Structure 1
């Protein structure tokens, strides 16, 4: 049985350096990148070019929510023929799995180093994911007076956990993820 003291001790009361509100993604200065092994001897790097994300900030880390949606058809490994093959029904099958979504469930940390736990969904499979997050800081943009916050998040997933176990031996099971994200502070009303 969970007591009130147990619940109180699990809360994160770290104050945040971000103002409360709904921060918008700056898509021109954000990227979703990945790395996967090919034949176990080399790395293939790529990115997804169509990303929607939202950052909702409250008073403490327990009040932070992050959501993201990535169009799987926007994969870009720098080789169009390979990208077309990865989109096909025998691999990612973007007709059946058009998006990958993320929803945070917990954020903790302080200073520059944070951890974000969440749920990643690809197709009809949802699995827990933990990302190490580095807070890059805040800056006021002189051109328009907006304030931007920068973050880098890293982690890894296993393709097989999401039923994407095609081409074993050719492609590694572990996919390393690197997110570079900028969000714009909400304007005062």
Structure 2
């Protein structure tokens, strides 16, 4: 269960500043049902994420842009078909973008509410966020923070209602993100 965080700077588990994505230890994954009987798992390999941490939870801002043409389900023929005009139509919808609106929580369990845009459709989305912790990188590197965010969207709400019965309506999202702590002010 999450609670709103008060104004206490100590309530946030990570330092204020512009955290930098570690793309080599981060991933954007999804799962969708096929014929209603099996799951197809995939990922997007092209994405950018920005994390601004303020002194309070209401000052936290997250934005992400995902290149939809970078889909990888482990099958090149299927990936080409998903990119095509009868499915994702990456020519018309090249990216998916997320912008946070509100962050709340405590300890390891957080909720991030925001807006997800695919093509010209924007809908509210809530993600459950688990704070994995902080670690000092050996040999003098900056600290890293880890997060897992999970949620789901309904394809039809974004105008992606192609192939009903073949593909499930619900797409489950799993984001594993690692960020690098900013240099302290005056360092």
* TM-score w.r.t. length of structure 2: 0.94
- Map of 2:166 onto structure 1: 170
- Map of 1:93 onto structure 2: 89
Matches within 5 A, 1:109-188: 109-188=105-184
Distance in 2 between residues matched to 1:35 and 1:20, nearest whole Å: 33
- How many residue pairs match? The answer is 180
Q: Is 2:53 the partner of 1:52?
A: no
Matches within 5 A, 1:31-110: 31-110=27-106
Distance in 2 between residues matched to 1:107 and 1:33, nearest whole Å: 21
- Map of 2:7 onto structure 1: 13
Structure 1 unaligned blocks of 5 or more: 1-9
Describe the superposition over 1:62-100 as per-residue Cα deviations: whole angstroms up to 9, x where unpaired. Answer: 110000000000000000000000000010000100000
Structure 2 unaligned blocks of 5 or more: none
SS of 1:17's equivalent in the other structure is: coil
Identify if the C-alpha distance between structure 1 residues 107 and 80 changes in structure 2 by more than 3 Å, giving closer, same or farther.
same
Considering only aligned residues, what root-mean-square deviation do their CA atoms show, in Å? 1.2
* TM-score w.r.t. length of structure 1: 0.93
Identify if the C-alpha distance between structure 1 residues 116 and 12 changes in structure 2 by more than 3 Å, giving closer, same or farther.
farther
- Map of 1:6 onto structure 2: none
Structure 1 residue 23: Cα displacement: 0.4
